[in-house]
Structure 1
Amino acid sequence: MARGVYIHIPFCHQICNYCDFNKVFFKNQPVDEYIEAVGKEMELVVQQMPGKFDNIETIFLGGGTPTALSAEQIKRLLDLIAKYLPTNKVIEFSSEANPDELTIDKLKALKSGGVNRLSMGVQSFDEQLLKKLGRTHSNEHVYETIEHAKAVGFENISIDLMYGLPGQTMEQWEDTLNKAFQLKLPHYSAYSLIVEPKTIFYIRYAKGKLNLPTEELEADMYDLLMNKMEQNGLKQYEISNFALDGYQSTHNKIYWDNDEYAGFGAGAHGYLNGDRYSNIGPIKKYISSINDSSRPLLSTHKVTKEEMIEEQMFLGLRKNEGVSFDEFERKFGTPLKSLFVDTIQQLVNNGLLIDDGRFVRLSRKGRFIGNEVFQQFLL
């Protein structure tokens, strides 16, 4: 059974310098036709997999920028979702948003269409850094939009922050965190910058023109992040995510639990019936495939048992609770320690893992080098 649904909206009014997701400039795009195509894809897949979506817990609108759509387009998209997906058991319905695009009309359209969680890309409260990132919003946009969202009835609001940015100092990062906490939100995500291929930052990096912080400074920023979150009453529940009790992201937990979810839209990824798949990326090719009544698949991969086990460890160890010994054995029919007893013991001895007999999890020290720990669980 699929636990979640991801819907990709690939349109942006501004392309950020660090973003490598499937996206296009909004202007002159067949936006309305695309929304109808997403509806047709949902209809097609639900028909092909009867009962698969009966118990979905979450829906997530991502991008691109879902709030690049007009209020009328948002309403049409949400109407199609309600028409083709069983939403009676959905507990979390999220939408990504840009602070300078989220008008009151759009907020009302999202709220009336069932969306109950907003995830806003704030990234920094230093406006010079925002310009370096290619962001178009100001701090005032953030304050005003959050005020409007609360007035419309949104309580579950999260913002994304970034550290390890070009030229970013510890003082700038601490100031961003302090301003973020003044908003008194129930959820925060914070990610270190990764310079991805096919981005403006990657081009600058290749030319030696991207002044990135040292690894030591980035580690200090992460340490400050964890300390500040704890001081402000937000519990870390995943490497990059912090929340008040009851506000942890259910949708993201589906990914970290390595459970099944559908991906709809151009360039979307999904995991259904043991297959990881990706959709066609170019908008017009995606629409053409849908209009021919065929799934717009670019690639599919049947995940082997070895790959499932590796993913269970990589993803599960991102969570603060870690990987459950009982759940692992139930899922794979073999005890976790029968596969990794030496690896776990060595990482425990090195202070990177904690084994409490029920779960194995990253220690605080291990969170700083999570990727290196994860690689130890390759079969």
Structure 2
Amino acid sequence: MSVPEEQLTTDVIGENTPDPLRFGFVKKTSAHAGGHSQPIKPDEHQSLMAALLQGKSESRSESTISGIAIRCLYVHIPFCRVRCTYCNFFQYASSKQLVDDYFAALMIELVEKAKQPWTQAAPFQAVYIGGGTPTDLSAKQIEQLGKMIRQHFPLTTDCELTLEGRINRFDDEMFESALEGGFNRFSFGVQSFDTQVRRKAKRLDDREVVLSRVQRLAQYDQAPIVIDLLYGLPYQDLTIWQQDLSDFFATGAHGVDLYQLVEMNGTPMADLVEKGRLPQPAGTAIKASMFETGVAAMDAHHFNRLSVNHWARDNRERSLYNSLAKTTAEVLPLGAGAGGNIGGYGVMQHRTLDGYLAAIKQGSMPVAMMIKQPVNAATTMAIKCAFDRGVVSKIELEQQAGWNVFDYCLPLFKAWQQHGFVTLNTTEQHQYVTLTLAGQFWAVTLAQAMIKVINKVNDSTMQAA
């Protein structure tokens, strides 16, 4: 059994072009690949979530690798001092009273969820404090948050605790407080060092300030310092992008993510472009060239490649949470707007502060939405993880999937190879699909296409495979 030929349409296999890097597909339409799921009725949220945290759910058992439970903790801080023009996730402008009220409620949720049987049953390998802008908390709150997590949650001895944030106002006092709280990895959304690009994107601080601050933090040598760089922003041409890369290397930071701008409706940037107040962001072909330049620069500086868009200067930077979150690892969510998954169910907490604070005050779970993950969720996650790594292994994929999904997709892989996205190796000893440079650029699109193909396989067909 294999993929029917009629499913191998252009949106799945791409264009047959001499330049698949730039013209293989029309454009990237999503930051992440996804699959199908079944919503849970709202009146079942409380009882189901309670059962999951009590370890009494009849759903499939938690994710394991070699028999070891794999789990992460995600904590969401939904405040930003300024909304970036490209951001579609802005929730609340920071104010001291709002932040203080929220932090008090978050501490209540943290203690309550930490004492649940499910939580205490196995240690957490990674913790990520995301947002929003977590560094809009005070230095005292950041230290308290880290200490509360370490005090109440079972953590592995090498647990990665990441604090995300802005360079702006992240002074020495805040850094020392975060270290005192137990944070051992820091991720900053620089996006671009160029002053004009930053200002037009509503990023705070000019190039020299950001460059100097990242350099100083990296020189502390207390924890890995990682930055995000975004390519394709308005005013950011190839020359500026090359300077952004050079500036990163000059900082001495320990890791970097190179993300392409994915234009989404509803962002301030889309509105400003429509009104003629910002130039059009870079098109797909230019962004592909920027990606190519970034990969070449990382290779030239002998950085370790941890995924298709993340590099490490040395082995201190592991990017553990980001890697595990793309697998079947379970993620416990804390805070307004936090998302996660437990026992085969996806969970999204209240995005509004009113809804979140009211739930905490009432002593109920702050759950806004729950979904039952599909029976092929493990396959979907294995695909996403493989494409993020840049290589699909038959053995690893089929161990997760439980059926011969690799063989089923061979016609798809062959079409991709013909179009320049992958190299297919199907010798008796080794069966892999390795992404080319073009395939790495289009990794999310290819993963979405493969998930689309296998989603058409019904349950009975899977069992027969």
Normalised-by-shorter TM-score class = over 0.9
Greater Cα shift, 285-294 or 80-89: 80-89
Match of 1:63 in 2: 131
1:375 corresponds, among 445, 448, 454, to: 448
The reply on whether 1:354 has 2:423 as its aligned counterpart is yes
Match of 2:307 in 1: 238
The reply on whether 1:226 has 2:298 as its aligned counterpart is no
Q: Take 1:148 and 1:125, find their aligned partners in 2: how far apart are those partners?
A: 15
Name structure 1 gaps, 5 residues minimum: none
Please report how far the alpha carbon of residue 238 of structure 1 lies from its aligned counterpart in structure 2 after TM superposition: 1.7
Please report how far the alpha carbon of residue 49 of structure 1 lies from its aligned counterpart in structure 2 after TM superposition: 4.2
TM-score scaled by structure 1? 0.92
1:11 corresponds, among 79, 82, 86, to: 79
Please report how far the alpha carbon of residue 274 of structure 1 lies from its aligned counterpart in structure 2 after TM superposition: 1.0
> Superposition pairs for residues 158-173 of structure 1, below 5 Å?
158-173=226-241
Match of 2:396 in 1: 327
Does the 8 Å contact 1:268/1:279 carry over to 2? yes
Structure 1 pair 30–376 and aligned structure 2 pair: CA distance change class (3 A): closer
Match of 1:213 in 2: 282
Match of 1:284 in 2: 354
Match of 2:98 in 1: 30
Greater Cα shift, 169-178 or 189-198: 189-198
Match of 2:374 in 1: 304
TM-score scaled by structure 2? 0.76
Match of 1:339 in 2: 408
> Superposition pairs for residues 241-252 of structure 1, below 5 Å?
241-246=310-315, 247-252=317-322
Structure 1 pair 9–86 and aligned structure 2 pair: CA distance change class (3 A): same
Deviations 1:255-276 (A, max 9, x none): 2224221221110110111111
Does the 8 Å contact 2:219/2:252 carry over to 1? no
Match of 2:210 in 1: 142
Match of 1:119 in 2: 187
Q: Take 1:315 and 1:202, find their aligned partners in 2: how far apart are those partners?
A: 31
Please report how far the alpha carbon of residue 341 of structure 1 lies from its aligned counterpart in structure 2 after TM superposition: 2.4
Greater Cα shift, 58-67 or 239-248: 239-248
Q: Look up the equivalent residue of 2:434 and give its one-letter code.
A: R
Does the 8 Å contact 2:398/2:406 carry over to 1? no
Does the 8 Å contact 1:188/1:243 carry over to 2? yes
Larger radius of gyration: 2
Deviations 1:201-220 (A, max 9, x none): 12224446542223221111
Percent of residue pairs identical: 26
Structure 1 pair 120–370 and aligned structure 2 pair: CA distance change class (3 A): same
> Superposition pairs for residues 185-204 of structure 1, below 5 Å?
185-204=253-272
Does the 8 Å contact 1:61/1:94 carry over to 2? yes
CA RMSD, aligned part only? 2.1
1:365 corresponds, among 438, 446, 460, to: 438
Q: Take 1:288 and 1:150, find their aligned partners in 2: how far apart are those partners?
A: 41
Please report how far the alpha carbon of residue 50 of structure 1 lies from its aligned counterpart in structure 2 after TM superposition: 2.6
Q: Take 2:319 and 2:342, find their aligned partners in 1: how far apart are those partners?
A: 21
Q: Look up the equivalent residue of 1:373 and give its one-letter code.
A: L
Does the 8 Å contact 2:382/2:400 carry over to 1? no
Match of 1:180 in 2: 248
SS at match of 2:147: helix
Does the 8 Å contact 2:168/2:204 carry over to 1? yes
Deviations 1:262-308 (A, max 9, x none): 22111011011111111101113212111212111111111112344
Q: Take 2:207 and 2:431, find their aligned partners in 1: how far apart are those partners?
A: 44
Match of 1:75 in 2: 143
Does the 8 Å contact 2:337/2:351 carry over to 1? yes
Name structure 2 gaps, 5 residues minimum: 1-68, 456-465
How many equivalent residue pairs? 378
Q: Take 2:108 and 2:75, find their aligned partners in 1: how far apart are those partners?
A: 13
Does the 8 Å contact 1:165/1:212 carry over to 2? yes
Deviations 1:86-135 (A, max 9, x none): 13434311111211221111001110111111111111121011001101
Please report how far the alpha carbon of residue 196 of structure 1 lies from its aligned counterpart in structure 2 after TM superposition: 2.3
Match of 2:51 in 1: none
